[in-house]
Amino acid sequence: MINPYLIHPATIVEKIQEAEDIHTYRLQLNEEATRRTFRFTAGQFNMVYLFGVGEVAISIVSDPDEPERLDHTIRAVGRVTSAIGRLRAGDTVGIRGPFGQGWPLEDARGRDIVIATGGLGCAPVVGAIEYIFRRRREYGAVKIIHGVKTPRDLLYQERFEAWRRQPDTEVLLASDRPDGTWRHHVGVVTELFERVPVNAARTLVLMCGPEIMMRLGVPILMKRGIPATAVYVSLERHMECGIGLCGHCQMGPYFLCKDGPVMRYDRVEPWLGRTGV
């Protein structure tokens, strides 16, 4: 019987600073056999472990076609992630995974893609965006919509600029509390959902961010003709086991660690608006 709790050591090959307290850790599994057989899909996550401290669920943002390299973008905010934040290249962490259901990027081939994100923690879609741009010709028009509270919250500025230069790609940014230098949309991100040019029948939406953005934003896209079944959202709950057994990540009938974290919108729609779910 496979032991799904077994943690495999991995070395931090590179630590890349993304923002003051956000780093991308490039990891490589130490055991050769594990490294060779490790496969994941974009949007899946690993439980990342630190000796003596514990585990935390972090999505894999690197390319699934290079499975020996595992990038995880981590914000030092909690007990485990703050301790990880003090590590350096060459240090060892642990990995258990990959877990969960990722983005439907295989099925998305040939379609237009709208990627809608809000707030700070959009690492799960960064992997999807990079995936699409590495295979740019296989996908149609790409719109990247991102909303922040203040311009200061706009992470990955260089990445947005680089994405903007991709063919047939538009990047739309919104801030509700802009300063004098803001040259993009002023207001909440869902206002951009009303304006972004889309070919509804061809479009697949990937969304990540606060649940309120999904709850208010998806109906706008649906009004524009995009069916709920063409919208995928990445959801977040407390996760400890990654295998649907510890009970923390439930949302209605789902265990987001194994049924998600990426869920088709129509399946979670009844649960999103509910308090305490």
- 55 vs 71 by CB, closer to other proteins: 55
Question: Quick one: DSSP state of residue 101?
Answer: B
Backbone Cα Rg of the chain: 18
Q: Closest separation between CB of residue 189 and other proteins, Å?
A: 19
Spatial distance between the Cα atoms of 173 and 154, rounded to a whole number of angstroms = 9
Among 15, 149, 237, 264, binds other proteins (CB under 8 A): 237
Question: Quick one: DSSP state of residue 65?
Answer: T
Q: Closest separation between CB of residue 134 and other proteins, Å?
A: 30
Binding to other proteins, residues 26-55 (CB under 8 A): 30, 51-55
> Three-state SS for 130?
helix
227 binds other proteins (CB under 8 A): no
- 32 vs 158 by CB, closer to other proteins: 32
> Three-state SS for 165?
coil
* Distance from the Cα of residue 101 to its chain's centroid: 12
Q: Which residues pair with 12 in a beta bridge?
A: 27
Nearest to 44 by CA among 115, 4, 123, 100: 100
240 binds other proteins (CB under 8 A): yes
77 binds other proteins (CB under 8 A): yes
Contact indicator for 206, 103 with CB cutoff of 8 Å: yes
Torsion over CA: 229, 234, 239, 241 (sign): positive
Among 19, 246, 264, 266, binds other proteins (CB under 8 A): 246
Contact indicator for 94, 50 with CB cutoff of 8 Å: yes
Among 67, 94, 97, 127, binds other proteins (CB under 8 A): 94
Q: Closest separation between CB of residue 84 and other proteins, Å?
A: 13
Spatial distance between the Cα atoms of 87 and 71, rounded to a whole number of angstroms = 15
Q: Closest separation between CB of residue 58 and other proteins, Å?
A: 12
Q: Closest separation between CB of residue 266 and other proteins, Å?
A: 15
Q: Closest separation between CB of residue 142 and other proteins, Å?
A: 29
Q: Tell me the site size for other proteins, rule CB under 8 A.
A: 42
Contact residues toward other proteins (CB under 8 A) are: 1-9, 11, 30, 51-55, 75, 77-78, 92, 94, 236-238, 240-241, 243-248, 250, 252-253, 255, 258, 270, 274-277
